[in-house]
Chain A
């Protein structure tokens, strides 16, 4: 199957009915995308297909033939939303975070609160109560999520 994965052309062999989620994690070794519920409720496995967020647990691999697939790895750790989620507490336990960020990417620039609420209705987070997530998205759009976030995570690693 040929498709575009995170901006690069990919040719991947997998069962055509395999879930896109499993192909990404087990064949492509991109484990940033998480499995939550496996029934399209929680949005933890959200990736973009041709720019639109979808639940990768419900997409047969055959249906991405020729499509553009973007996973959390495709943001390269450098996306303003990624910095903002770190800096403003948008991530706590982290299981919803990759899917939440991919859904947030698809919100486009400067979403209103109702737009964020509707756009993220398919992403369940049981830690943050969503306030910190909305705060992070607003900060990313204001450009106030600074490089401090990167140094903070860098320090933690050391």
Chain B
């Protein structure tokens, strides 16, 4: 047994009720879903927590269905399940596009949408999709259930509004009107973490969100407003640069990210035929 495992403890609840009771009664327990992020840190020796909870058995957290006119995606839904779901393909094709670009098959079979959101990396590929879809996050605890708009789920770098006694149970997505668009730029097509990732919805009120360009995923509100008033291409580009705050890190530089984010928005405009002013200034 590698030394990194020896002092770790795993709680292994058989039902969601048991899991929520454990999270209420125990302190500092880290939930485990598909482990495609957590076990990378574990293998690297950089994972600090020592107590974990296995969520993998909890079928209450799986499944994709319609719920009062909204799409409901269980937190333990894997990327493969998203890719194969006729419901998701119909209602939220940009989520399928995102899922296809995450890792290879091996990762797609284990990694979950709830894990991607809970891991809270600003580079998470499903995050811009949930942001432009105006998704809601269902949080469950022993004391009840609450829904949080995805837009207010992150409070800072790797910080969320979820309490330690809560798990992410599901995501709710109301019908999205308009053409959906997704593009990730990484070092290579498969197996690469994004340098910049953008999701968009074209329509009368275009929506855009970007990842890897700020401490959290960001809605490009200024850019959306510029597109809605049919601003010039250069005004749109300026709005993108105002909306983001990228940094230099191991994967890329701030300057590259600024350039690519602006290019991706231009590509979104071009491919989805969002009408911009042709006036030059």
In the complex, number of A-B residue pairs with CB atoms less than 8 Å apart: 97
CB-contact partner of A59 in B40, B57, B110, under 8 A: B110
Segment at the B interface, from A13-21, A80-88, A143-151: A13-21
Segment at the B interface, from A90-98, A116-124, A134-142: A116-124
| CB-CB under 8 A for A123 and B54, given A52-B109, A54-B109 | no
A46's nearest neighbour on chain B, judged by CB, is B106
Q: A63 at the A/B interface (Cβ < 8 Å)?
A: yes
Q: A41 at the A/B interface (Cβ < 8 Å)?
A: yes
The reply to whether A57 and B12 contact each other, CB–CB distance below 8 Å, is no
Interface residue tally on A, bucketed by range: 35 or more
CB distance from A49 to the nearest CB of B (A): 8
Cα–Cα, bound, A38→B56 (Å): 21
Query: B residues engaging A (CB < 8 A)?
Result: 1-2, 5-6, 8, 10, 12, 32, 34-36, 39-40, 43-44, 52, 54, 56-57, 80, 103-107, 109-110, 189-191
| CB-CB under 8 A for A58 and B1, given A40-B106, A122-B104 | no
The reply to whether A38 and B43 contact each other, CB–CB distance below 8 Å, is yes
B12's nearest neighbour on chain A, judged by CB, is A62
A51's nearest neighbour on chain B, judged by CB, is B109
Cα–Cα, bound, A43→B54 (Å): 23
B191's nearest neighbour on chain A, judged by CB, is A41
Cα–Cα, bound, A54→B103 (Å): 11
CB-contact partner of B5 in A15, A103, A118, under 8 A: A15
Q: A32 at the A/B interface (Cβ < 8 Å)?
A: no
| CB-CB under 8 A for A57 and B39, given A16-B12, A52-B109 | yes
B192's nearest neighbour on chain A, judged by CB, is A41
Query: A residues engaging B (CB < 8 A)?
Result: 14-19, 22, 26, 38-41, 43, 46, 49, 52-55, 57-60, 62-63, 65, 103, 106, 118-124
Cα–Cα, bound, A121→B189 (Å): 9
Of B2, B6, B39, chain A has the most CB atoms within 10 Å of the CB of B39
CB distance from B2 to the nearest CB of A (A): 7
- B189: chain A residues within 8 A (beta carbon): 121
The reply to whether A106 and B36 contact each other, CB–CB distance below 8 Å, is no
**What 10 A-B pairs have minimum CB-CB distances, sorted nearest first?**
A122-B104, A121-B190, A58-B39, A38-B43, A52-B109, A121-B104, A16-B10, A55-B106, A122-B106, A39-B40
The reply to whether A122 and B190 contact each other, CB–CB distance below 8 Å, is yes
CB-contact partner of A17 in B40, B44, B52, B106, under 8 A: B52
Cα–Cα, bound, A123→B109 (Å): 14
- A22: chain B residues within 8 A (beta carbon): 1-2
CB-contact partner of B43 in A15, A39, A54, A123, under 8 A: A39
Cα–Cα, bound, A15→B3 (Å): 12
CB-contact partner of B10 in A41, A46, A60, A120, under 8 A: A60
| CB-CB under 8 A for A52 and B80, given A18-B5, A40-B107, A60-B32 | yes
The reply to whether B43 and A57 contact each other, CB–CB distance below 8 Å, is yes
The reply to whether A63 and B35 contact each other, CB–CB distance below 8 Å, is yes
- A53: chain B residues within 8 A (beta carbon): 105-106, 109
Cα–Cα, bound, A97→B57 (Å): 31
- B5: chain A residues within 8 A (beta carbon): 15, 17-19
- B8: chain A residues within 8 A (beta carbon): 15, 17
Cα–Cα, bound, A122→B192 (Å): 10
The reply to whether B40 and A40 contact each other, CB–CB distance below 8 Å, is yes
- B56: chain A residues within 8 A (beta carbon): 62-63
A-B contact pairs, 12 of them (CB 8 A): A16-B10, A16-B54, A26-B1, A57-B43, A58-B39, A59-B110, A60-B32, A62-B12, A63-B56, A120-B104, A121-B104, A122-B106
